[in-house]
Chains A and B, each alone.
Chain A
Amino acid sequence: MGQIFIKRLLVTIPTLIAISIIIFTILVLAPGDPLGEFASNPAITAEVRENIRRSLGLDRPAYIRYFKWFGSFIRGDMGYSFNSRSPVAELLWQRLPTTLLVVGLAYIIGLLIAFPLGIISAVKRYSITDQIITTIAFLGFSIPPFFTGLLFIIIFSVRLGWFPFIFNSTLQVTDWQSLIAQIRQSIMPISVLALYHAAILMRFIRSAVLDELQQEYVRTALSKGLSQFAVIKSHVLRNALIPVVTLIALDIPTIFTGALVTEQVFRVPGIGALLIESIYRSDTPVVMAITFIYGILIVLFNLIADLIYAVLDPRVKY
């Protein structure tokens, strides 16, 4: 296990370097001044601007700038935000836990919904139950999460008044009351994401379980007199999980895309909302750092999926 982990970890490093080169190349190729607002500010003379450029190292060739940027990035120095003048790393550390919490909770709830439904749907293939479940799943992944989010706001906030409209980011959890308020305002963003993931996962699980149910070992187990529940629980499920994990790994970028959009709909103060804000304000250092952080998160979760895969399937050798 440890050996697999180290080998996979070594494979992720070139991927991360490639992603960082891609992001940096895009920035270098981009027209316009990386100084953003400083370049168009009439109060700054040409001479001062030249000094700023030199102090930031913008007169050096691109590859040297890349090495300096990458070198300081891995040491945790992501530069300063043009807008708030505070270190980018600080801004990110404030926002990252929220994003991870929302993504994580939504994914776990999505899995909890998708597993029973996917299995039922596969076992009772072509029944009315199966048709209802698959139709709902189909509708669920055809609705983009931003539209589900708006519909949830219209139905549950505007019409029914059950949940607050906009996420209050200044809320501090100090006692029961504020904890309940925090849960109440988190329900809508998390459930929008959870339903979206549940719809996608349900389809993966259904088709994986269906494939397994047709295998001969299932027939053998059933003819041995095991109950259907026992066969599914101890034989089918583990085998069906292998393709499911592969599909989940391919789907990881979608998970973060969905989270980014949902954060924006409900004004949840995560890194996705920060990315959009920073783009509006042309805050290039923050935009760069967040894009790369998303890359790191995707690679990291891919690594986790690979490890789960190795645990599930003892045939896998690296």
Chain B
Amino acid sequence: MTVIERQTSSNLWLDSWRKFKRDRPAIFGLITISIIVLAVIFAPLVYTTSADKIDFLASSSPPSWQHPFGTNDLGQDQLARILLGGRISLAVGIASMLVAIFLGTIVGAIAGFYGGVVDGVLMRITDLFLALPQLPLLLLIVYLFRESMKQLAGAELGVFILIVLLIGSLNWMSVARLVRADFLKLREMEFVSAARAIGAKPTRLIWIHLFPNVLSVIIVAATLAVGNAIITESTLSFLGLGFPPDVPTWGRMLFEAKDYLTSAPYMAVFPGMAIFLTVLSINYIGDGLRDAFDPKS
């Protein structure tokens, strides 16, 4: 009995989950984001109103039973568009996060593990990326490469790949710094010397011995990176330089709504709230995870 108890309480993940459960904002975030994800995946199966059906008779109508979130200037149903846009925004967020985490972990791990000149060079590159004018650069690249990506992989997929790669490759720096700092600390520890003494190769040392110890840091950074990527994608779409006009991302819907603020303010409120609630929930979860993984708290 006591043995089992001691075992469960010594597990980092269970311990962290117990702390996380007590964090009310984090639980609020978890519930909200679950509802949003489930709605975005499954609601279109139940809510069958078409997202692209144009109906000028019902253009920019306020919320009603028929159109719970109202319609846009073309009379397209806003709820259906928000659900469809949510799939894209969340997909962009998760895919860009994976790119950023992948790059950041590799750069941070190599810099922290080898140190010396390698570390110096990689950290200078990281600093350079931190000093880049991110949004202008993003706009410049999307503007220059959008057409050829469309020809390469189709209008929707081409822009998706371009945006995901760009957001990911401009967001890895904080992960790299965190992973590097932890690796620098960890590689001096005895378990690493022990592993090295029995002949573990660098790749094995990095991935089997060191990596699991930085996983909690990476998970927190990954959570926050999703929120960041969603905001960046919405910003691009809001400036009219994201996905093509017939793809209703949340930022794109705000871009269209900003010309109807006097006559139809509800057109801006619902997609804006969708971005806000998603990002807020993700930030709360990220904050909760950071506290939960922190052994000092």
Which residues of A line the B interface, CB within 8 A?
Answer: 15, 18-19, 22-23, 26-27, 30-32, 135, 138-139, 141-144, 146-147, 150-151, 153-154, 157-158, 165, 250, 253, 256-257, 260-261, 264-265, 275-276, 279-280, 282, 287-288, 290-291, 294-295, 297-299, 302
Q: Which A residue's beta carbon lies closest to that of B141?
A: A26
* Contact status A253-B134, CB under 8 Å: yes
Query: Do B143 and A279 have beta carbons less than 8 Å apart?
Result: yes
Residue contacts A-B, CB under 8 angstroms, 16 given: A15-B128, A19-B133, A23-B140, A30-B144, A31-B147, A139-B280, A146-B254, A157-B261, A253-B132, A253-B133, A261-B235, A264-B238, A265-B258, A291-B137, A298-B132, A299-B131
Instruction: Judge whether B113 is part of the interface by a CB distance below 8 angstroms.
Output: no
Whether B279 is near chain A, meaning CB under 8 Å from some CB there, is yes
Instruction: Say yes or no for B275: interface residue by CB 8 A criterion.
Output: yes
> Given known contacts A26-B140, A280-B240, is B133 in contact with A291 (CB within 8 Å)?
yes
A298 touches B272 (CB 8 A): no
Flag if B241 contacts A138 (CB, 8 Å). no
Q: Count how many chain B residues have C-beta atoms less than 8 Å from C-beta atoms of the other chain.
A: 44
Interface string of B99-141 (1 = CB under 8 A from A): 0000000000000000000000000000110111111110111
Contact call A291/B140, Cβ cutoff below 8 A: yes
Contact yes or no, A146 B276, CB < 8 A: no
B132 to A22, Cβ gap below 8 A? yes
Query: Quick one: closest B residue to A280, CB to CB?
Result: B240
Q: Provided the pairs A154-B261, A276-B239 are in contact, do residues A256 and B133 lie with their beta carbons within 8 angstroms?
A: yes
A19 touches B261 (CB 8 A): no
For A297, the chain B residues whose CB sits under 8 A away are 133
Q: B136 contacts A154, CB within 8 Å?
A: no
List the interface of chain B (C-beta within 8 A of A).
25, 127-128, 130-137, 139-141, 143-145, 147-148, 227, 231, 234-235, 238-241, 251, 254, 257-258, 261-262, 265, 268-269, 272, 275-276, 279-280, 283-284, 287
Of B133, B143, B276, which contacts A142 at CB under 8 A? B276
- Given A257, A287, A295, which contacts B235 in the complex, CB threshold below 8 Å? A257
Question: Does the CB pair B144–A27 fall under 8 Å?
Answer: yes
C-alpha spacing A291/B132, complex, angstroms = 10
CA A305 – CA B25 in complex, angstroms?
Answer: 34
Minimum distance in angstroms from B225 CB to a CB of chain A:
14
Interface contacts beyond A138-B283, A260-B135: sample of 6 additional A-B pairs, CB < 8 Å, sorted by A: A150-B268, A157-B261, A290-B136, A295-B131, A295-B132, A298-B132
Identify the closest chain A residue to B272 (Cβ).
Answer: A147
